[in-house]
Amino acid sequence: MTTLEELKTLPKLDAIIEKQGPLFDLIIIGGGPAGLTAALYAGRARLKTLIIERALLGGMASTAFHIDNYPGFPRGVSGMDISRYFEEQAKKFGADFYYGEVLGIKRKELYYEVKIDKKDISTKTIIIAAGSESKKLNIKGENEFRGKGVSYCATCDGPFYKDKSIAVIGGGNSAVEEALYLTRYASKISIIHRRDKLRADKILAEQALNDPKIFILWNSQIEEILGAARVENIKIKNTITKKSSRFPIDGVFVYVGSNPNSKLFSNLVKLDKNGYILTNEEMKTAASGIFAAGDIRKKTLRQIVTAASDGAIAANSARIYIDSNLK
């Protein structure tokens, strides 16, 4: 996977445009599993393709320590490794990459103009694969202690908590997977869950329940994060008794869902009440020539495998659109 140091040596936007021409067949916004798979399929269809990513390739998948449910990897694979494989395959078929921020999209006659770093780039089609970002708890102390004991990435920050006591907030797959990963470092992990049953897959829930380092606080909700220079305590409320208690803790890892990165596109496509982009089975949005794929669209299952599927379908739909309308 491309590192921050390697970004400095990648082609600049002007060089990419000079090579490919002022008009792209497809611009993909977002370099996670959906965007990278779309680039792979678009490249095989010989579409001039540009992926725009504002951070590092792989999206949220790249932060996963171990992925055990992606087909073809019976022994599992790390998030960084699978992201690197996606990237290598997309590049193999000719995709260009640019690291920057999309500032806006405008319709211009038959094409779209995508504004990046004060430069407009023309494209026949767009795939929005900008993914999602971790939801915040929106409680007192969360922002104050971010990076000082509050984290949203166990792979990134887990090593800082060797022999420490930490809390993981949430009860879904992400929360339980990361709690299990954190047992490599922490002496005690308390999963704080507002229900009386984990929402995670049964196999993950069983592993957590049987791990001697993991303790689960059922029917509990975190109300406040406290400390001086760093996190020192958390305030927990029992959702049944309504009683609140303080617990000493060294770190808080938050996994309570995600929000789609769709605000920029709200004037172009239709969103549901939660901000997810509405598409049909062909990944078509309400805007002609614009498609969406991955975690940013409304769907029932958000996994790497479904993101990859979305990306393949979206790229194929973009090819059909170009062949039908712009040739």
Domains within the chain, CATH numbers bracketed: 4-133+258-325 (3.50.50.60), 136-254 (3.50.50.60)
Q: Which residues are catalytic?
A: 153, 156-157
pLDDT given for residue 292 in this prediction: 98
In our burial notation (b when 16+ CB lie closer than 10 A, e otherwise), range 51-60 reads: bbbeebbbbb
Spatial separation of the C-alpha atoms in residues 92 and 94, rounded to whole Å: 6
- CA angle 69/309/169 to nearest 5° reads 45
Question: Residue 261: what are its φ and ψ, rounded to 5°?
Answer: -85, 65
Mark the ranges of the chain whose per-residue pLDDT is less than 50: none
Tokens 């975690």 map to which residue?
Answer: 295
pLDDT given for residue 259 in this prediction: 92
pLDDT given for residue 57 in this prediction: 87
Cβ-contact 173, 179 below 8 angstroms: no
- CA angle 252/152/192 to nearest 5° reads 40
Spatial separation of the C-alpha atoms in residues 131 and 128, rounded to whole Å: 8
Q: Which two tokens stand for residue 143?
A: 């922002």
pLDDT given for residue 317 in this prediction: 98
pLDDT given for residue 188 in this prediction: 97
Per the DSSP assignment, residues forming a β-bridge with 99 are 53
Q: Which two tokens stand for residue 105?
A: 């999209």
Task: Report in angstroms the alpha-carbon separations of 86 from 61, 89, 157, 164, 245.
Answer: 11, 5, 24, 35, 46
pLDDT given for residue 265 in this prediction: 96
